[in-house]
Amino acid sequence: MSKENVRLSPPLLWGILLPVMVLLLSACTTAAPVLRGTGDLGVLIERADGRVKIVDTSARAVLAQVEGLGDLSHASVVFSRDARYAFVFGRDGGLSKVDLLTGRIVRRIMQAGNAIGGAISQDGRIVVAQNYMPGGIKAFDAETLELVADVPASYGSDGQRSKVVGLADLPGNRFVYSLFDADEIRVTDLSDPAHPTTQRFPAGRQPYDALVTPDGRYYIAGLFGEDGLAMLDLWQPQQGVRKILAGYGKGDAPLPVYKMPHLRGWAIAGGRAYLPAIGRHEVLVVDTTTWQEVGRIAVKSQPVFVMARPDGREVWVNFAFPENGWVQVIDTLSQDVVDTLQPGRAILHMEFAPRGEVVWLSSRDDNRVFIYDTASHKPLHSIAAASPSGIFFTSRAARTGF
Amino acid sequence: MSKENVRLSPPLLWGILLPVMVLLLSACTTAAPVLRGTGDLGVLIERADGRVKIVDTSARAVLAQVEGLGDLSHASVVFSRDARYAFVFGRDGGLSKVDLLTGRIVRRIMQAGNAIGGAISQDGRIVVAQNYMPGGIKAFDAETLELVADVPASYGSDGQRSKVVGLADLPGNRFVYSLFDADEIRVTDLSDPAHPTTQRFPAGRQPYDALVTPDGRYYIAGLFGEDGLAMLDLWQPQQGVRKILAGYGKGDAPLPVYKMPHLRGWAIAGGRAYLPAIGRHEVLVVDTTTWQEVGRIAVKSQPVFVMARPDGREVWVNFAFPENGWVQVIDTLSQDVVDTLQPGRAILHMEFAPRGEVVWLSSRDDNRVFIYDTASHKPLHSIAAASPSGIFFTSRAARTGF
C-alpha cells in the first residue's frame, strides 16, 4: 500500500460512506427475519413434493416454504417447547428440524428405513420417532438430533422386530406405543435416556393406531385383527389392558376397508370418546368413566379422522375414499349429525385453531387448504398448497398426547 | 461548507469508515432483539413495584423486566393469539400491552378507576377488562387498545352499577361474568362489538369469583352471600342457573375468612371439580356429570388456589394468611393429600408448565419464585423477583376460560 495521502472531496467521501452504510443497513434488515410471536404458526405438508409451507394462522397466510424434506406421505409433525421449531417425520425415515422463523432446515437426519411419525417429551428435550423398519422407537436430542436412545421393538424368541404404531408422549418423559406384529402395548421411560426402561402389556391382535386422552391417563389402541379396542389405564397399569367395545361389528359382514382410520387426535369431548369404527359407517361413542359403548352415530361412509372441536361441542369427521370429499359435523349435546359439508376433493386432514374458532381442511385433489368458520360451518378463506395432507399448529407444543 | 477537498490518509479514511460500520452493525444487532420462539415465555408480576419480569420457562431465566405498569396488586395477564404480547390488567384500571420480545410497553391506557382483571376473545381480536369502578366490562381492540365496546353492569331502576368479577372468555367471542352487587351472571356477545348483546341470569347472593370448565361449557361462580355455588350450563343457558353444593358449610359456625379463594384456574381433573370452600379447611369435590358433591378433602387451612396439574393426576393447593407458606398436593386417584410442602413465605400464586413437568410458585415474602418438579415435589431452581404475585405463561393464549 502506498503511504501517500488520498485526496477526497466531501462528495466523494460521502460517495464511499453512503453505499457502505446502505449496504450494512440492508444486510442487517434482509438477513434478520421479522421478529414475531410463534404461538399462531403452523405447518402444511405438501406430500407429493417433500415440502412444507409455514403458515400464520392469524393472518391466514403463507410465510415461507421449505423444500427437501423427502417422502412426506403419511408425514407428521411435533413442535419444540418454545414453538419455534417443527420436527417433521417423513415416511422414508427422515427427521428434519425446521426453523419456523427463518424458514430453513437446521438439522436433518435419516433415522430409519420406514417410519410413521413421532412425539416429543414432556420437557421438550427428547424427540422420539416410531419406526416400521427397523421396528422400534428411537430417541433424539431435540437440540442436536443426536441419537440418545434406540429401543428395538423386539419380540419372540428369535428377535424379530415389530412395526411400531400409535406412539404418544406421557408425563414423566415416558412414551406409549403399540406393536402391530407383536400384539402388545409398551411404555418406555426415557427420563434417563441412557437407560430406558420398558413395560410390556398384551394388547389384543394387531393394534394399528392409538390415542391417549388429553390428560395422558388412558391409552386406547384400535385393533385390526379383532373386533374391539384395547384400553390401558396408565395411572393403574398393573390392571393391564382392558378390551372395550368388544364385538362392535359382530355378526355383520365386514365391509372392505379403504383406509385405516386414525385415532390420534382430539376425540374426547364432554366425558365421551368418539371413535371411528373400522370398515363401518359409524362413529362409536364411549363413556370415558365406564368405558362402555353408549351410542353409535351413523355417518356417510367409513370415518378416518374423528376430531372434537377444542370446546367439545362438535365432532368433525372425514371419510375414506371414495367418499373423501365429505365432512360431517356431530353435535355432542344431541349426538346428531347436524351438518354435511363438501369442502373439496380428497379431504385428508383437519386441524382446529387452538381455541376452535376455525378449522383448516386439506383438500389434496383441489390443491388447497380450506379454512372454515366452526360456528357457521362456512368457508372463510383458502390457501393454495400442492397436494396438502397433514396440518399442524404450534399450539400442539403445549399439549400432551400428540 | 467549504468546497475545498479534504485530505485524508488511508488510516484516517478507515478511521472514519470503521467506526461508522461498527456503529451501524452494533445498532442493528443491539436494536434487533434476539429471534426466538414465544411458546415458552411467561410473565411474573412484581406487585409492589409496578413491574413485570419476562421469563423463559425452558432456560428458567429472566429475559427482561418492564417498569411503569402502575398498581399491580391483584394484577392479571392474558396473551395475544401469537403469544408475543402480554396484556397486563392493573388494579388501578391500567391496561398495558407488553411486547415480550422487545421487553417494551407498546400501548398503555387507563381504562377504569378500579379493575380486577380481564380476558381475550376466542379469535384474539378483543381484550376485555372487568371493572369495579365504574362497574362493567370494556372491550378493546387487541392491536390498538382502542375502546370498541363499553357494557355497564347496570341493574335496578335507578341505574346503579355493580362490581364485575369472574370474567371468562367463551367460544364465539362471548364473555361470561358475574355481578357481585346485583346477584347476577351475564353473558355478553361481542362478535359484533358495535352491537354487544347481553343475557342475564339470576345467580344467588354475591358471586365473588368464578371459573369456566376448560371446554367453555360450565360456568361456576362462588357465592359469598350464601352457602353454595351457582352453576350455569352455557350450552343450555335456557335452563338457568343451578345451585350446587348448597349448604356445604351448613350448621357449622363460619370461620373468619382471611382471603377470598380464587376459582379461576385449572380445577377440573378426571371428571371432577376441586373447589376451595370459603372459610373452611376443605377442598370440595364435585362430579362434573351430576354436579353433586362426591367428597371433601381436609386440608391444612383455608384454600386460596386449588389447581389441577395439567395431566389431572394432582391438585395443588395454597392457603390464606397466616398459613400461606404451605402448599398441599392431592392425588386425584386416591383423593388423599399426598404431600405437604413449605416452599417459601407467602405463596401467592402457582403456574404449571403447559405440560405439567414443573410448577412455578411465587413467594412474596422471600422475594423469589420457586420452580418445583411435579414428579418428585422437590425444588429445582429459583428466580429472584420483588414481592412476586401472579405468574402467567404464554401457553394460556391457546386456552379457553382464562
C-alpha cell belonging to residue A3 = 503511504
Task: Enter the pTM of the model.
Answer: 0.91
Contact A29, B32 (CB under 8 A): no
Host H or E run for residue A223: strand A218-223
Top-confidence residue, A257 or A355: A355
Q: Which residues pair with A283 in a beta bridge?
A: A276, A297
Pairwise CA distance, residues A305 & B325, whole Å = 48
**Chain A CB contacts of B100 below 8 Å:** 37
Top-confidence residue, A258 or B337: B337
Is residue B204 over pLDDT 70?
yes
Is residue A52 over pLDDT 90?
yes
C-alpha cell belonging to residue A88 = 417433521
**Chain B CB contacts of A270 below 8 Å:** 215, 217
Predicted local confidence at residue A20, as pLDDT: 56
C-alpha cell belonging to residue B272 = 371432577
For residue range B117-160, what is the model confidence (pLDDT) as tens digits?
Answer: 999 999 999 999 999 999 999 999 999 999 999 999 999 999 89
For residue range A292-308, what is the model confidence (pLDDT) as tens digits?
Answer: 999 999 999 999 999 99
* Mean pLDDT of the B324-338 span: 97
Residue-range domains of chain B with CATH: 111-259 (2.130.10.10)
For residue range A2-31, what is the model confidence (pLDDT) as tens digits?
Answer: 444 545 555 555 565 665 555 555 544 445
Which phi-psi region, left, alpha or beta, contains residue A364 (left: φ > 0; alpha: ψ -120 to 50)? Answer: alpha
Residue in chain B nearest A311 by alpha carbon: B215
Query: Which of B 121-140 lie inside 8 A of A, CB atoms?
Result: 122-124
Nearest CB to B39: which of A25, A81, A289?
A81
Interacting residues of B338 by C-beta distance below 8 A, sequence separation 6+ = B314, B329, B330, B331
Contact A178, A166 (CB under 8 A): yes
CA dihedral A319, A324, A326, A328 (to 10 degrees): 10
Nearest CB to B36: which of A25, A84, A217?
A84
For residue range A326-345, what is the model confidence (pLDDT) as tens digits?
Answer: 999 999 999 999 999 999 99
Predicted local confidence at residue A15, as pLDDT: 60
Contact B400, B213 (CB under 8 A): no
> Of the candidates A78, A62, A89, which has an alpha carbon nearest to the alpha carbon of residue A368?
A62
Predicted local confidence at residue B124, as pLDDT: 97
Top-confidence residue, B201 or B14: B201
Residue in chain B nearest A333 by alpha carbon: B235
- On whether any CB of chain A is under 8 Å from the CB of B335, the answer is no
Q: A355–B398: do the CB atoms touch at under 8 Å?
A: yes
Classified as helix, coil or strand, A59 is coil
For residue range B215-252, what is the model confidence (pLDDT) as tens digits?
Answer: 889 999 999 999 899 999 999 999 999 999 998 877 66
For residue range A171-200, what is the model confidence (pLDDT) as tens digits?
Answer: 999 999 999 999 999 999 999 999 999 999
For residue range B254-300, what is the model confidence (pLDDT) as tens digits?
Answer: 667 777 788 876 688 888 999 998 889 999 999 998 999 999 999 99
Host H or E run for residue A20: helix A10-31
* Mean pLDDT of the B350-374 span: 97
Query: Which of B 217-276 lie inside 8 A of A, CB atoms?
Result: 217, 235-236, 269-271
Predicted local confidence at residue A248, as pLDDT: 83
Q: B32–A36: do the CB atoms touch at under 8 Å?
A: no
pLDDT averaged over every residue in chain A: 91
ipTM associated with this complex: 0.90
* Mean pLDDT of the A230-251 span: 91
Interacting residues of B228 by C-beta distance below 8 A, sequence separation 6+ = B204, B243, B244, B245, B246, B247, B248
